[in-house]
Chains A and B, each alone.
Chain A
Amino acid sequence: MKLVHDTEAGAGGLLRFTTAGSVDDGKSTLIGRILHDAKAVPQDQIEALERAARRSGDGAIDLSLLTDGLTAEREQGITIDVAYRYFATRRRKFIIADTPGHEQYTRNMVTGASTADLAIVLVDVRKGLTDQTRRHLYLSNLLGIRHLLIAVNKMDLVGYQESAYSAIAKAASDVCTKLSAPLPHLIPISAKLGDNVVHPSDNMPWYRGPALLTLLETVPIPGSEMARSAFRFPVQIVSRPRGGGSDPLRLYMGRIESGEIRVGDRVVILPAGTQTKIASIKTLDGDLDHAAAPQSVAVTVADDIDIARGDMLVHPDQTPRVDRRIDATLCWFGDDPFDNRRKYLLKQGTRTVGAKVAKLIDRVDVKNLQISEAPETLMRNDIGRAQLVLPAKIAFDSYRRNRATGAFILIDEQSNATVAAGMID
């Protein structure tokens, strides 16, 4: 296979996926195997691996070294942060968010999952589903990842037996059903030896599905669905370029997060509720009569009304919720536990406002997914539902309906740290 440039205008598009697994499940080896077999690893990096292999003694290339970036990680043999990798095949361009599997870094997994279209969850066939597997499936589903792919790894170590795989496949499907998650794709692989990773394996004739890369190249990308859903345009910047004469141009710049817009369309400015019409859609190449998600554009409107950063333009017949009370699931990342005496800022879309937590509704123990009611606080890596109160109304959607307008982060006003990710009910 060759890396191919995209003269066909990205026929297969861009797929973002995340990988999760326990430290020893072979996650880095799998990514290394994909990159290696897809010939996405430059020769100088392969040579660096060979040098490392000679130093380490046993002489075998360690594919996991392709993804472990920082000195501290190489010394400790762990992954301490989200790393992004890029490769392309003839069919598609890929962005991998490689996230560590151990518990104290759940925030990294949530981070990687927040932009992913697909999650690969690795399971060691000898160990079966672990608490961590359930946690990864839970988080992937919580973050609204469309496709779950469970790769049952190390099949070479059980003699490529179908029965070992089937038991795990059944258990994994049961977990997904229980979580109300989409049914997972299941593939038996050996990341170390390459079975069913890029090339179909001769060792498992009983498996009739596609190799892992083939699946990555062909799953539908949710992006195109966003263009068909309700129009949402959070205003990033209001620009008044000079030279407009007596009637200065006022441009509302932003990215269409979902849906589409035409010149002449009536729009509502939220949260104010005022109405106007789209007068023009401007780009550097000239005016458009139509634009759709995820295009970045600038629009002008027909009336002289107040529109500022943080406002959202929507269609009058497809309005989101507008409220100052929000129920949401929080993933707590802060070093310090949640503390209602501190001041938190909520950033959603292009709007940043103060936020108070009126009450904590429940807390999920991510170890065993047990729910406890009315917890005292949320600690780092805890997940729980909360009722938030804002000083004024904002426009938002349920995260299930719209990832862009249903998501927010909480920022500690004093330390400026990002302390939580939020998903609106």
Chain B
Amino acid sequence: MNFETSVDPNRPAATVDRTADRSWSHLDTLESEAIHVLRETAAEFRNPVLMFSAGKDSTVLLRLAERAFRPGRFPFPLLHVDTGHNFPEVIDFRDRTMARLGERLIVRTVQESIDKGRVTLKKESQSRNALQTVTLLDAITEFGFDACIGGARRDEEKARAKERIFSFRDEFGQWDPRRQRPELWHLYNGRVDPGQHMRVFPLSNWTELDIWQYIARESLEIPTIYFAHHRQVVRRANHLVPVWEFLELQPGDVIESRLVRFRTVGDISCTLPVESPAATVAEIIAETVEARVSERGATRMDDRTSEASMELRKIAGYF
């Protein structure tokens, strides 16, 4: 069989034409499903929150929330768990997005958790990625959130592939993969007791490529670090490590400037760029189509610690 691609990367990913006669695409199916999930969450929970990292997935979530709830206000605030180790471009984008939407943003910082003695750092350069779990769970307790909407996708990682769209968390914020509620049709069981909560993942069925196609179709703005830019990096094994304030240089490290872009955006201490000249969404889509390395495999140190590291973090209450 011949499956050669006929994709023209210069063509827009899809035109914005929502008349009812237009053929229904898989993006429409995913969009409608996600809107349905967001509305079910708003209807079934007393005090939901949307976890906004200012990355591409949660930016797509915000557009879906606009589609679900405008012209009304969002029926939930947004929560940013700030590690303090941010890319400045991302914080800039976050603040502009919030100004545009006019919705309420709650920021809770890992630094506060450190100052309160809730977590301790071994050294300043340590990744704060896993520490976010404490800050997140503390924020859930502080505000009494009973549902946390997140942008995680099942295609990201093996443990995520097994997670429900409505994913139950016990009194300790923990995920028990063996005791998940069966999830049938589009009937979500949102019942939780006080102290428990639900994680809700409207993008469960989206892939990295779907996200980029949707960003193109909706002309969504995303942080500039997703596009090709020159950045100081050091090459270690097969990875590029960004140079930043607390990077500890190792023997043999050579700082060089490379044309790179990020595929995920997280804590600066554990997010790795890939070499790429892709400067537009269309070029990123063309590269993603050809991509032979998974999104997290390429770019996240935190998943490489062991084959089960996401599973272990999720069990503890991570996003």
Using a CB–CB cutoff of 8 Å, the interface residues on chain A facing chain B are: 1-7, 9-11, 13-14, 42-45, 48, 69-72, 74, 80-86, 88-90, 93, 95, 107-108, 110-111, 114-115, 198-200, 211, 214, 223-224, 236-237, 239-243, 249, 251, 253-255, 260, 283-285, 288, 290-292, 294-296, 309, 333, 347-348, 350, 403-404, 407-409, 411, 416-418, 421
Which residue of chain B has the shortest Cβ distance to A81 in the bound complex?
B162
B43 to chain A, nearest CB (A): 5
Additional A-B contacts beyond A4-B6, A296-B39, A418-B189 (17; CB < 8 A): A2-B5, A4-B5, A5-B213, A7-B13, A10-B23, A10-B28, A80-B178, A81-B162, A89-B3, A253-B39, A255-B32, A255-B36, A288-B20, A295-B20, A350-B40, A350-B43, A421-B184
Give the distance in Å from the alpha carbon of A224 to the alpha carbon of B24 in the complex.
9
Give the distance in Å from the alpha carbon of A324 to the alpha carbon of B168 in the complex.
31
| Nearest 8 CB-CB pairings of A with B | A1-B3, A10-B25, A44-B297, A69-B158, A241-B72, A296-B35, A42-B294, A14-B26
Q: A89-B3, A107-B182, A198-B1 are in contact. Are A83 and B285 (CB under 8 A)?
A: no
Which residue of chain B has the shortest Cβ distance to A416 in the bound complex?
B191
A250 to chain B, nearest CB (A): 11
* Beta-carbon contact of B26 and A13 below 8 Å: yes
Give the distance in Å from the alpha carbon of A198 to the alpha carbon of B1 in the complex.
8
As a 0/1 sequence over residues 175 to 215 of chain B, the CB contacts with chain A under 8 angstroms (1 = contact) are: 00110111111110101110000000000110101001100
* Beta-carbon contact of A85 and B161 below 8 Å: yes
Give the distance in Å from the alpha carbon of A107 to the alpha carbon of B298 in the complex.
36
- The interface residues of chain B lying within 8 Å CB-to-CB of A211 are 1
- The interface residues of chain B lying within 8 Å CB-to-CB of A200 are 1
- The interface residues of chain B lying within 8 Å CB-to-CB of A253 are 39, 68
B237 at the interface (CB under 8 A from A): no
Q: A44-B297, A69-B158, A115-B185 are in contact. Are A284 and B67 (CB under 8 A)?
A: yes
* Beta-carbon contact of B209 and A88 below 8 Å: yes
Which of A114, A237, A294, A403 lies in contact with B43, CB distance below 8 A? A237
As a 0/1 sequence over residues 215 to 238 of chain B, the CB contacts with chain A under 8 angstroms (1 = contact) are: 000000000000000000000000
Chain B residues numbered 137-171 whose CB sits less than 8 Å from any CB in chain A: 154-155, 158-159, 161-162
- The interface residues of chain B lying within 8 Å CB-to-CB of A85 are 155, 161
* Beta-carbon contact of B16 and A5 below 8 Å: no
Q: How many A-B contacts if CB must be within 8 Å?
A: 217
Which of B36, B181, B298 lies in contact with A417, CB distance below 8 A? B181
Which of A7, A88, A292 lies in contact with B8, CB distance below 8 A? A7
As a 0/1 sequence over residues 59 to 85 of chain B, the CB contacts with chain A under 8 angstroms (1 = contact) are: 000000011111111000000000000
Q: List 21 A-B contacts (CB under 8 A).
A: A3-B209, A7-B11, A10-B26, A10-B29, A14-B26, A72-B178, A81-B162, A81-B178, A84-B161, A90-B5, A111-B183, A240-B72, A283-B67, A284-B70, A290-B20, A294-B29, A296-B31, A296-B35, A296-B39, A417-B181, A418-B184
Give the distance in Å from the alpha carbon of A293 to the alpha carbon of B314 in the complex.
35
Give the distance in Å from the alpha carbon of A224 to the alpha carbon of B28 in the complex.
13
Give the distance in Å from the alpha carbon of A416 to the alpha carbon of B181 in the complex.
9
B288 at the interface (CB under 8 A from A): yes
* Beta-carbon contact of B204 and A84 below 8 Å: yes
Which residue of chain B has the shortest Cβ distance to A16 in the bound complex?
B205
Using a CB–CB cutoff of 8 Å, the interface residues on chain B facing chain A are: 1, 3-8, 11, 13-14, 16, 18-20, 22-33, 35-36, 39-40, 42-43, 66-73, 154-155, 158-159, 161-162, 177-178, 180-187, 189, 191-193, 204-205, 207, 209, 212-213, 285-286, 288-294, 297-298, 307-308, 311
Which of A42, A72, A80, A283 lies in contact with B291, CB distance below 8 A? A42
Q: A42-B292, A296-B36 are in contact. Are A285 and B18 (CB under 8 A)?
A: yes
- The interface residues of chain B lying within 8 Å CB-to-CB of A295 are 20, 28, 32
Give the distance in Å from the alpha carbon of A114 to the alpha carbon of B185 in the complex.
5
Give the distance in Å from the alpha carbon of A110 to the alpha carbon of B204 in the complex.
19
* Beta-carbon contact of A111 and B182 below 8 Å: yes
- The interface residues of chain A lying within 8 Å CB-to-CB of B155 are 85-86
Which residue of chain B has the shortest Cβ distance to A66 in the bound complex?
B158
- The interface residues of chain B lying within 8 Å CB-to-CB of A13 are 24-26, 29
* Beta-carbon contact of B185 and A404 below 8 Å: yes
- The interface residues of chain A lying within 8 Å CB-to-CB of B18 are 283, 285, 288
Q: A4-B7, A6-B14, A403-B185 are in contact. Are A81 and B177 (CB under 8 A)?
A: yes
Which of B186, B293, B311 lies in contact with A44, CB distance below 8 A? B293
B207 to chain A, nearest CB (A): 5
Give the distance in Å from the alpha carbon of A239 to the alpha carbon of B187 in the complex.
21
B9 to chain A, nearest CB (A): 9
* Beta-carbon contact of B71 and A5 below 8 Å: no
* Beta-carbon contact of B182 and A333 below 8 Å: yes
* Beta-carbon contact of B43 and A45 below 8 Å: no
* Beta-carbon contact of B7 and A237 below 8 Å: no
Q: A251-B72, A295-B32, A421-B182 are in contact. Are A1 and B289 (CB under 8 A)?
A: no
- The interface residues of chain B lying within 8 Å CB-to-CB of A110 are 182, 184
Give the distance in Å from the alpha carbon of A60 to the alpha carbon of B72 in the complex.
57
B171 to chain A, nearest CB (A): 13
Give the distance in Å from the alpha carbon of A296 to the alpha carbon of B28 in the complex.
10
Give the distance in Å from the alpha carbon of A95 to the alpha carbon of B155 in the complex.
10
